[in-house]
Amino acid sequence: MRALVIEDDPDLRQQVVQFLSADGFAVDSAGDGTQGAYMAEEYPADVAIVDLGLPGTSGLEIIRQLRKAGRKYPVLILTARDGWQSKVEGLETGADDYLVKPFQKEELLARVRALLRRSGGWAQAQLASGPYVVDTGAKTVVADGKPVELTSYEFRVLEYLLTHAGKVISKSELTEHLYTEDEERDSNVIEVFIRRLRSKLDPESHYNPITTIRGAGYRWDLPRA
Amino acid sequence: MRALVIEDDPDLRQQVVQFLSADGFAVDSAGDGTQGAYMAEEYPADVAIVDLGLPGTSGLEIIRQLRKAGRKYPVLILTARDGWQSKVEGLETGADDYLVKPFQKEELLARVRALLRRSGGWAQAQLASGPYVVDTGAKTVVADGKPVELTSYEFRVLEYLLTHAGKVISKSELTEHLYTEDEERDSNVIEVFIRRLRSKLDPESHYNPITTIRGAGYRWDLPRA
DNA sequence: AAAGTTCAGGGCGAATTCAGGCGCTGCGTC
DNA sequence: GACGCAGCGCCTGAATTCGCCCTGAACTTT
């Protein structure tokens, strides 16, 4: 998952980036509204965290532009305690949730995860599909009741596919959402991760959860519960 | 475990902090409601002890804010004898237990431990998992019926992992909950404690109670009884 | 003296790359 | 329409790289 952080206070921005990275996000960040607005339109993302009190283009303006440009991903806004009334404006403008500063790491992560689940159409922390149960919080996967050990990147690929179940995801889309550096690498990492995922999730080829669409990408084909 | 103490009487506050520290808690404390409310939102904690009769933001208000902000950890309220009716209000507001002043050290610790156990999903004083029995009150550990000698910090690490059995706990989360100073240190203390814990708990590698999830943290993997 | 912390070296698992092979797909020929 | 061929994309197993974590021991603090 790829997140965009727009926050002017360098310390706070640094912290938020750190939290998200540690939780397995690919993170882009901007320190002012102008740069933020640019990134919001240029870069792919799955969620944005935007401070409302920004120099340059205001947070509200960013959200407006972002929605106008057709970006559908959820936006979490950060507000100062005394500026809580602006949150209403923010939510009306198109933000999806808000968090009052100061806040705790766990709180931020919980909200972000909740937004992502909602945007994928889920309400709970555990996602079930076919014989699989994926816990995005605990980062565990269970197949037919038996735990499956996945490495960090394997889990991220699975998570992304599952969040977009039924849709074809291209390899470049996966790369963009899993890695922060947006250099298109000449590599087959994704293919390798797909292979490992398949062999770990379905060693005996009973379900074949991931089908490959030649020339287009991959698709998670099991119905979600 | 990290506790937050909010109490205006300096002597009593000092005492409570002392009790908890001596029992192995990392303790933050505040002398008035305003500061307390701030800390409640700013710092991570596993339990809070709040006096209801506070200057500044009232104790009830703190609990309200705390719950509104999504903090799930248990709250123990302190009430004066003649203000016992306020305890009802407190419990309704979201506190989990109460203690009437004056009280004894043992009573306080017992209640706090009970709350922590309940929040972790247990009802009893002794926690059993695999061949291990951990007594959080007596701070003793038994493996296969034989006592295991742990140092204070080793015990704290074990306790935290066990309380969150099955969940991946990052090194930074451990640091946050074991130490009061929240500076992120460039150090490998946690790794060292993990190592010592492993060698003491399982010298012959029979159970491997703590698995490391590379890049993410550690997880207590034995089922709890 | 015991517990806690730091340090440096090395091991090992995860991430990435590489090279070879297979299978789809489109096109040309019969 | 059938067949064959060529090209590209994907699969796959193994080699290589990279850096996190482990480990033993020295150092510091209580």
Q: B44 vs A151: CB contact, 8 Å cut-off?
A: no
Instruction: Please tell me the distance in Å from B2's CA to the nearest CA on chain A.
Output: 14
Average pLDDT of the segment spanning B83-112: 83
pTM beyond 0.85: the answer is no
**Percent above pLDDT 90 for chain B:** 40
Chain C bases closer than 7 angstroms to a protein Cβ: 2-8, 13-19, 24-25
B154 touches strand C (CB under 7 A): yes
Per-residue model confidence (pLDDT) at position A21: 85
* Average pLDDT rounded to a whole number, residues B221-225: 81
Instruction: Say if the Cβ atoms of A22 and B69 lie within 8 Å.
Output: no
| Distance (Å, whole) CA B153 – CA B179 | 10
Q: What average pLDDT does this structure show over B91-96?
A: 84
- Residue B70 neighbours by CB under 8 Å, 6+ apart: A107, A110
Which among B67, B164, B167, B222 is the top mutation candidate for probing chain A, defined by the most A β-carbons within 10 Å of its own β-carbon?
B167
For testing contact with chain B, the best of A18, A99, A104 (most B CBs within 10 A): A104
- Å between CA of A183 and C1' of C17: 17
pLDDT at B182: 62
Residue A123 has pLDDT above 50, yes or no: no
**B69/A103 CB distance under 8 A:** yes
Are residues B44 and A106, on separate chains, in Cβ contact within 8 Å? yes
CB contact under 8 A, A104 and B215: no
Neighboring chain B residues of A107 at a CB cutoff of 8 Å: 69-71
For chain B, first and last CA: distance in Å? 21
pLDDT digits (tens, 9 = 90+) for B18-74: 999 989 999 999 988 888 888 887 788 999 999 988 887 888 888 888 887 778 899
Q: CA–CA separation, B75 vs A96, rounded Å?
A: 30
What is the end-to-end Cα distance of chain A in Å, rounded? 22
Mean pLDDT is lowest, of A125-134, B16-25, B94-103, B180-189, for B180-189
**Cα separations in angstroms, B180 against B24, B26, B217:** 11, 5, 20
Inspect the interface and report whether the beta carbons of B168 and A138 lie closer than 8 Å. yes
Separation between Cα atoms, residue B200 and residue B180, nearest integer Å? 26
pLDDT tier at B158, thresholds 50, 70, 90: very high
Per-residue pLDDT averaged across B81-95, rounded?
76
Q: Which of B3, B41, B46 is nearest to B21 (CA)?
A: B3
Distance, CA of A200 to C1' of C24, in Å: 25
Give residue for tokens 């952080």: A5
Between residues B197 and A114, the one the model is more confident about: B197
Mutation to test the B interface, candidates A109, A139, A146, A159, most B Cβ within 10 Å: A139
In the structure, how far is the CA atom of residue A193 from the C1' atom of nucleotide C24, in angstroms? Answer: 22
Query: Which residues of chain B make contact with A105, given a CB cutoff of 8 A?
Result: 44
Task: Give the confidence band of A87 by pLDDT, cuts at 50, 70, 90.
Answer: low
Amino acid at B83: G
Residue A194: the pLDDT is 96
CA distances from residue B55 to A48, A75, B36, B43 in whole angstroms, order as listed? 39, 38, 11, 21
Is any atom of strand C within 7 angstroms of residue B199's beta carbon? no
Distance to chain B for A143, nearest Cα, Å: 16
Lowest mean pLDDT among A92-106, A114-128, B119-133: A114-128
pLDDT class of A183 with cuts at 50, 70, 90: low
Instruction: Give A38→chain B minimum CA distance, Å.
Output: 31
Q: Average the pLDDT over each of A28-42, A122-136, B153-167 and give the range with the smallest value.
A: A122-136
Residue A122 confidence class, pLDDT cut points 50, 70, 90 = low
For chain B, which residues lie within 8 Å of any Cβ of chain A, measuring from their own Cβ? 38, 41-44, 69-71, 166-168, 170, 172, 213-216
Rounded distance in angstroms from the CA atom of residue B24 to the C1' atom of nucleotide C8:
31
- Record: contact A103-B168, CB cut-off 8 A: no
Which is higher by pLDDT, A87 or B141? B141
- The token pair at A19 is 């939290």
Closest CA to A180 of A10, A28, A19: A28
**A106 neighbourhood in chain B, CB within 8 Å:** 44
Contacts of B170 in chain A (CB under 8 A): 22
pLDDT (average), residues B76-102: 81
Shortest distance, CA A140 to any CA of chain B (angstroms): 9
Of A119-128, B67-76, B177-186, B189-198, give the lowest mean pLDDT range: A119-128
Q: Would you state the pLDDT for residue A121?
A: 57
Distance from CA of B101 to the nearest CA of A (A): 31
